[in-house]
Chains A and B, each alone.
Chain A
């Protein structure tokens, strides 16, 4: 052999070995640290990150990371009441237009810089002056006039119109001026280089797409350092895989369980399941009014849906109690309107307007209105004779929706309607919905304790001005001047009881106009490793949830490590883990076409 060639080979081999050793040296300490020295709270997730920019994000996962990285002036308490956060006190002026906040002293950013009222004023001024940030938050930012910090502990906010509920419950995450003022454009996604600097209990330090998001505890947190050293959101493509990981001790908190998984986890040693009333609604939106502000019609909704009688008949032919019972296994409540039962003071129970499930009565309604059945049993429109054939779109990745579709389709078929169900990818379905290219489609939102934001999505003011589907402020192009009039009144009403009455009246109007059929409020089904975690505070404090909290991450901040209890996975679960691994491998191979991610449906 040529001696030069031999030398080259040896050199190459040595280089390869060195590289490998280097790689090991880099990874080994990290791995060791994670297992021994650091107490990690591992939470399973499957939602991609939209952006870490707290003004722009819309997904639940980034809501959670923002809520822990940053803080608000006023926190939402464990029973959704306003409690001091970065502001220790606040005062509303007589006319309700000027709010004065006293900013907490001695608070530091995670990089050690002091947090002052200047940072707060800078943040609120972003909402007022930065056009993109203002547009994303227009329902709130549109009402802001000025934000000033006369000294380091005083912050003064001036409004155009009184809006007490918004000021106290709107989550404006305070960002550090000394970092953000360096960004050329604070509204850009890349304005958020990791690690993030915030004042909250945990800061995002590392993110690997589809692998994990790591948040490190803020040791200098003014409210005391959290019990865990870090929080890691681990990605699991399938809930079954996350459940197996929980059983094997590889992940600590899993949510989004289905009844079968709950039952399997219930009563297992070291695992506590939590079945809590949720604050999300699931609904069917009906494409009955795709028009812009100036009345230009767009989209291709079926003309029969414009008739309130048809919508009402369809509403009557849905047995919501049966859906809760059969699809959710009882883990939810039949819905009437936007505000879930968990917010009792604003929830409307239907009163005298409540429709009973009655297919015969629904059929009679349609008969009376002149929708006669054709030879094929499908009703036709009076006049044009167009068949009542509706497209029914569901999110392709939602198992519950797939079952609901089967139930609803069977009921509606009994009405003499032709239903064409179709499962569509999340993103595509959302685009089609805002373009008005559907007849009936699934929707759903997480609702907060202040209903203004949700109700505001049904006002005439947020109707799109363009027909290209780019303006997405209106939930279903609902426009009713009576509804709008009450909406303005409830926003400024300071008496909670009077306000509740107005909000219930709004919901009654929505129910009777039926632009949307609200199906159910879904419970939060979650489980955690109670051998490892103790002391988690729930929201609401009685029978509340762990993973769906709002306003402040009470559960994750109060969680304490429960001593050493890191059991290895038991052999009984090996086959499940192997199956799960196979699922992950297959899913990984086809990931581009098959991203089973929660996107638009999981909005906050």
Chain B
């Protein structure tokens, strides 16, 4: 008994964290869909990372393309070719990098903004809290796709603006969530104790509030990624993506612009479409499972 009791506060903290992580992991593992999602996601991320090894970047070059115009699948081009003779398989593989990158980056930016505004507005309150809340409400009621299109038309088309625009239209949901959790934690006695011991706002927010809202943020982030990927694909499909990079949305955009629908070139339309579907599905599965882990009410009878 005495041997397993850690002595220093740091070791104690670490042990507690390990314990809580193990608990969450066990709860996560118990959910079959979550595990399927995780495996699927792992496979996709692995493929995206390995794309340069699997297919040389020259496969994206239009001047070095060797195939014919919109050729159906063959041994040489398992998923056919596009209008300049590039392999659709290579495009889809490389497209995964950008779609994932934009989806993840936009989510991180949105989550950082959302959490910062949420925690501060919940903790500080007063007129600042009120204004922050109204601003996030305002962003929440804006029709996101229309706003994104308008912003991109003004800011120009590039990867950075796409990320920024997606983050701008999706941070407000996180704010609401984080603020609600902050208010709950805020009223707990240990925070009163911290205040009584002289903890400042910064200490309270970083040491007590943030660690308590982070699990929730993680779950909400996992659910935000697929919507960011979908948004990026929609924007690129509408022709508002960065024209110089290959993403799933931009492949679809080029396919429809070049008459793949009229030509019945299904091999050009399906791969990027299915890829989007798979990634979104994988993220949703993981996100739902995480949510259930951190919010026992959602776990139902298994709790």
Determine whether A388 belongs to the interface, using a CB cutoff of 8 Å to chain B.
Answer: no
Q: A397 — which chain B residues lie within 8 A by C-beta? A: 239
Q: In this complex, which of B65, B149, B243 has the most chain A Cβ atoms within 10 angstroms of its Cβ?
A: B243
Q: CB within 8 A of A326: which of B62, B149, B256?
A: B62
Q: Are A260 and B263 in contact (CB under 8 A)?
A: yes
Q: Is there contact, CB below 8 Å, between B146 and A263? A: no
Would you call B259 an interface residue if the criterion is a C-beta within 8 Å of the partner chain's C-beta atoms?
yes
Q: Is the CB of B83 within 8 A of A260?
A: yes
Contacts of B263 in A (CB 8 A): 260-261, 263-264
Decide: A594 near B62, CB < 8 A? Known: A258-B258, A264-B262, A403-B83: no
Determine if B153 and A326 form an interchain contact, defined as CB atoms under 8 angstroms apart: no
Contacts of B265 in A (CB 8 A): 260
Contact A326/B85 with A589-B146, A593-B153 known, Cβ cut-off 8 Å: yes
Q: Which of A399, A406, A425 contacts B257 (CB 8 A)?
A: A399
Residue of B nearest to A425 (CB): B153
Q: Which residue of A lies closest to B243 (CB)?
A: A423
User: Which A residues touch B145, using CB under 8 A?
Assistant: 590
Q: Per-residue CB proximity of A32-47 to B under 8 Å, as 1/0? A: 0000000000000000
How far does the alpha carbon of A594 sit from the alpha carbon of B149 in the complex, in Å? 8
- Interface residues of B, dominant DSSP: loop
Instruction: Chain A residues near B150: list those with CB within 8 A.
Output: 592-593
**Does chain A have a CB within 8 A of B61?**
yes
**Which residues of chain A are within 8 angstroms of B238 by Cβ–Cβ distance?**
586, 590, 594
Residue of A nearest to B237 (CB): A586
- In the complex, are the beta carbons of B259 and A240 less than 8 A apart? yes
**Smallest Cβ distance from A68 to chain B, in angstroms?**
29
Interface string of B68-86 (1 = CB under 8 A from A): 0110000000000001110
The answer to whether A399 touches B254 (Cβ under 8 A) is yes
Kindly report which residue of chain A lies nearest to residue B234, judged by CB atoms. A586
Whether a CB of chain A sits under 8 angstroms from the CB of B135 is no
Judge if B244 is at the interface, Cβ distance under 8 Å: yes
Interface assignment of B199: CB less than 8 Å from any CB of chain A: no
Set of chain B residues within 8 Å of A586, measured between Cβ atoms: 238
Q: Is the CB of A239 within 8 A of B259?
A: yes
Complex Cα gap A593–B154 (Å) = 9
Question: Does B193 lie at the interface of the complex (its beta carbon under 8 Å from any beta carbon of A)?
Answer: no
Q: Is the beta-carbon distance between B259 and A407 smaller than 8 angstroms?
A: no
Residues of B contacting A396 with CB < 8 Å?
Answer: 157, 239
B8 located at the interface, meaning its Cβ lies under 8 Å from any Cβ of chain A in the complex: no
- The minimal Cβ–Cβ distance linking B149 to chain A, given in whole angstroms, is 4
Closest to B154 in A: A593
- Give the residue name and chain of the B residue nearest to A586 (CB): B238
CB distance from B113 to the nearest CB of A (A): 24
Contact of B61 among A394, A410, A593, A594 (CB under 8 A): A410
B109 at the interface (CB under 8 A from A): no
The complex places the Cα of A106 from the Cα of B240 at a distance, in Å, of 56
A592 to B154, CA, bound (A): 12
**Residue A405 lies at the interface, judged by CB distance under 8 Å to chain B:** yes
Which chain B residues numbered 236 to 295 have a C-beta less than 8 Å away from chain A?
A: 238-240, 243-244, 254, 256-265
Q: For residue A319, which residue of chain B has the nearest CB? A: B63
> Is A410 a contact of B62 with CB atoms below 8 Å?
yes
User: Closest residue of chain B to A590, judged by CB?
Assistant: B149
Contact with B along A255-281 (1 / 0, CB 8 A): 001111101110000000000000000
- Does B42 make an interface contact (CB < 8 A)? no
CB distance from B160 to the nearest CB of A (A): 13
Chain A positions 577 through 601: 1 when the CB is less than 8 Å from some CB of chain B, otherwise 0: 0010001001001101110100000
Which of chain B's residues have a CB closer than 8 A to the CB of A159? Answer: none
Q: Any chain A CB within 8 A of the CB of B6?
A: no
A156: Cβ under 8 A from any B Cβ: no
Contacts of B260 in A (CB 8 A): 260
Cβ of B159 to closest chain A Cβ, rounded Å = 12
Most chain-A CB neighbours within 10 Å: which of B70, B150, B243, B262? B262
* Also in contact, A260 and B149, with CB within 8 A (given A421-B243, A423-B243): no
Find out whether the CB atom of B262 lies under 8 angstroms from the CB atom of A260: yes
Say whether B156 faces chain A, with CB atoms less than 8 Å apart.
Answer: yes
Q: Please determine whether A326 and B84 come into contact, CB atoms closer than 8 angstroms.
A: yes
In contact, A422 and B62 (Cβ under 8 angstroms): no
A329 touches B (CB below 8 Å): yes
Which residues of chain B have C-beta atoms less than 8 A from A407's C-beta?
Answer: 62-63
Q: Within 8 Å of chain B (Cβ to Cβ): is A576?
A: yes
| B239 near A264: Cβ-Cβ < 8 Å | no
In angstroms, Cα B239 to Cα A119, docked, is 48
Chain A nearest CB, measured from B238 CB (Å) = 6
**Docked complex Cα distance between A260 and B69 (Å):** 9
Inter-chain contacts of B69 with A (CB < 8 A): 259-260, 326, 329
Contacts A260-B263, A406-B62, A594-B238 supplied; 16 other A-B pairs, CB < 8 Å: A238-B256, A240-B262, A243-B262, A258-B257, A260-B83, A260-B259, A260-B260, A261-B263, A396-B157, A396-B239, A397-B239, A403-B83, A410-B61, A410-B62, A422-B157, A422-B158
Q: 12 A-B residue contacts at CB 8 Å? A: A240-B261, A258-B257, A259-B259, A260-B259, A322-B63, A326-B65, A406-B62, A406-B84, A421-B244, A423-B239, A593-B153, A594-B239
Sorted nearest first, the 3 A-B pairs with minimum C-beta distance are A260-B259, A260-B263, A399-B257
Interface of A with B (CB < 8 Å)? 238-240, 243-244, 257-261, 263-265, 322, 326-327, 329, 394, 396-397, 399, 402-403, 405-407, 409-411, 421-425, 576, 579, 583, 586, 589-590, 592-594, 596
Which residues from chain B sit less than 8 Å from chain A, CB to CB? 61-63, 65, 69-70, 83-85, 145-146, 149-150, 152-153, 156-158, 238-240, 243-244, 254, 256-265
